[in-house]
A and B are shown apart, each in its own frame.
Chain A
Amino acid sequence: MRKRSAGGYLAVPAWAWLAVFFIAPVAMVVWFSFGYKPGIFGTHANDILSFDRYFEALSPTFFATFQNTLIVGITGTILCFLIGAPVAYWMAFKVRPSRRGILIALVLVPFWTNFLVRTIGWQVILSPEGWMSGLLQAVGVIDGPLELLYTRTAVIIGVVYNYLPLMILPLFVAFDRVGPTLREASKDLGAGKISTFFRVTLPLSQPGVIAGVLLVFIPLMGDYITATVLGGAKGNMIGQLVASQFQTAQNWALGSAMAVLLMIVITLTIAVAALIIWLVALPFRSANRLVLDPVSNDSSDAAAPAREEVSV
């Protein structure tokens, strides 16, 4: 018992480190968000507390950015799932096990390559004077130079690309855990490929799906680099808005309120999405429910009709 209580102290340095350099700074930002910007040279003041910065952050100019971020976030997450799920499925069930290691390595290499550099790679590909533009013009798909860079489409391509490995890997792990046994049982019981996927594989890999969606959606909403590199100087994501309040406008109070709002929006979206999925799945769940009668008390009664049926 003594050993147990002593061992927990090993985590104290990490506790302290994160409390000082994570919790305290974030708490400070929350505190700033209730203040205001005093004059041109000050960054923040907290002698009068109010929710005014929050209303300011939700004024029409900034609200459009919140809306755009949400559109990019949701579209990007859905696209990541639609593109990534078949790949994870392919890796888990269709590829020979000996090749899996190399495929995982292939997914990991882009993931561990510098985020900014990968995004710049897309800038090179999508730029009007780049090779992709030349190729498409030569083939005759487009007439003029490619006009994709610095648009919302470019940002969506960028975020889907950047966060795709974060979707593929947890999905692969989840599919891999399902294993072949239950899927074969489902096939033996007459289910086709599609109904095996939707009624056996997908429900069993639910934790992986949730992990993948959250791992993609949360950083995507706070994205700053992709939007800056591919979305152009004006930009359209909250991350850029927060950054500009701190770096150029020097209005820390407003920037803090935007940062807090960003976290609130992320949490709310996840909660709403969870609720919608739960409601949509409700009828299916009750239809698929398998009720097992308690057999402890009168097992003879339950067994009797079955025997009769067999004899008939």
Chain B
Amino acid sequence: MTQTVTETIARAESSTRVRRAPRSWSDIAFGVWGVLVMLFLFAPIIVIVIYSFNTGRLLVSWDGFGFDAFLTILEKPAIQNAVRVSLITAFISAIIATSLGTLAGIAMARYPGKWVWWFLGLLLLVSVTPEIVDAVALLPFFVWLGQDVGLTMFNDGIVRLSVGSSLFATAVVSYIVRARLVGMDANLEEASSDLYANPVTTFRRITLALAMPAVLAGFLLAFTLSLDNTIVAAFVQVSGTTPWPVYVLSAVRSGLRPEIAAVSTIMLLLTLVALALVALVLKRAGDSATQIARTMTGG
């Protein structure tokens, strides 16, 4: 019995050896480690998706399989409202970040000078400042703007949330657009102006068109980032416009229920669609897998 098993293994091994070059033990170890880490990365996400079908009262204790949690969403206006607030503010802040970031990215790539280093320094500062510092800084600032200066629009929850999550997203869009345009030289723009196109036309039909894949990718990334924005949102939110992550954060303190997992599963699907779109846009534009990875990490 044991002998036959050993023989089978030996035969299988030799046949593998015939098919391709022998793999060393280190290659196998790397492969095993890689797969294990991938499982580690997906463990909590899989758990959340599974537990969204939990029929129990509390999220952590499994009761039975069912779609109760998804049906509960329909009965709870607070959850629907939170998701709506999140989607609205993410959309507004993605628009702000994309327009500011695109212009800044084009300026950095096409009109270089000493100012670019200062600007990159500022963007770096924005992206490395811990979110909690941003959050505690924006809270008193909005209160000051809204009450002492008298700009009442900053008392509005939607405005505060949109502004708060647009900052990091602006930096990310600027990096992406700059990275794309720096890689292409300005021949087409020069040709366009040689052919008597005025600067505005050149900008619209050449520069912007060249940057378009990065702009679209940047928009979707900014949207996802703003949708996830938790820390800044938790500080600047006004009661009545609680965004979804802050709703979840307060649920962590008061007790997690399966509805949280159900909404998260739906949001996960949305994020996956957005990511797939980004990858598709970049792939169409001719980026390699490595370039896509760089773009998506904001570098």
Contacts and interface: CB of A to CB of B under 8 A. Distances in A.
A90 interface: yes
Contact of B170 (A14, A118, A259): A14
Interface string B259-299: 01100100110011011000100000000011011101101
A8 interface: yes
Contacts of A24: 141
B275 A129 contact: no
A90 B297 contact: no
B57 to A, nearest CB: 13
Interface stretch (A58-66, A162-170, A180-188, A286-294): A162-170
B101 interface: yes
Interface stretch (A47-55, A220-228, A298-306): A220-228
A106 interface: yes
Contacts of B125: 22
Size bracket, chain B contacts: 35 or more
A116 B256 CA distance: 12
Chain B interface SS verdict (over half): helix
A11 B103 contact: yes
A246 B139 contact: yes
A105 B279 contact: yes
Contacts of A100: 289-290
Given A18-B167, A131-B62, A124 B48 contact: yes
B225 to A, nearest CB: 9
B199 interface: yes
B104 A120 contact: no
Contacts of A225: 230-231, 249
A29 B119 contact: no
Given A4-B113, A18-B122, A169-B293, A9 B107 contact: yes
Given A17-B170, A120-B248, A121-B47, A87 B34 contact: yes
A173 interface: yes
Contacts of A234: none
- Closest 5 CB pairs between A and B? A222-B130, A121-B44, A7-B111, A25-B137, A14-B104
Given A8-B111, A86-B33, A120-B264, 18 more contacts: A21-B138, A29-B140, A90-B33, A90-B34, A100-B290, A106-B41, A112-B275, A112-B296, A114-B228, A116-B245, A120-B256, A123-B252, A125-B44, A131-B62, A164-B40, A256-B136, A259-B133, A263-B133
12 contacts: A7-B106, A8-B113, A97-B289, A113-B271, A117-B248, A117-B260, A120-B261, A121-B47, A130-B61, A164-B41, A218-B128, A259-B133
Interface of B: 26-27, 30-31, 33-34, 37-38, 40-45, 47-48, 51, 59-62, 96, 99-101, 103-104, 106-108, 110-111, 113, 115, 119, 122-123, 125-126, 128-141, 144, 163-164, 166-167, 170-171, 174, 199, 224, 227-228, 230-231, 235, 245, 248-249, 252-253, 256, 260-261, 264, 267-268, 271-272, 274-275, 279, 289-290, 292-294, 296-297, 299
Interface of A: 3-11, 13-15, 17-18, 21-26, 28-29, 32, 43-44, 83-84, 86-87, 89-91, 94-95, 97, 100-101, 103-125, 127, 129-131, 161, 164-166, 169-170, 172-173, 176, 193, 211, 214-215, 218-219, 221-225, 228-229, 233, 239, 242-243, 246-247, 252, 255-256, 259, 262-263, 266
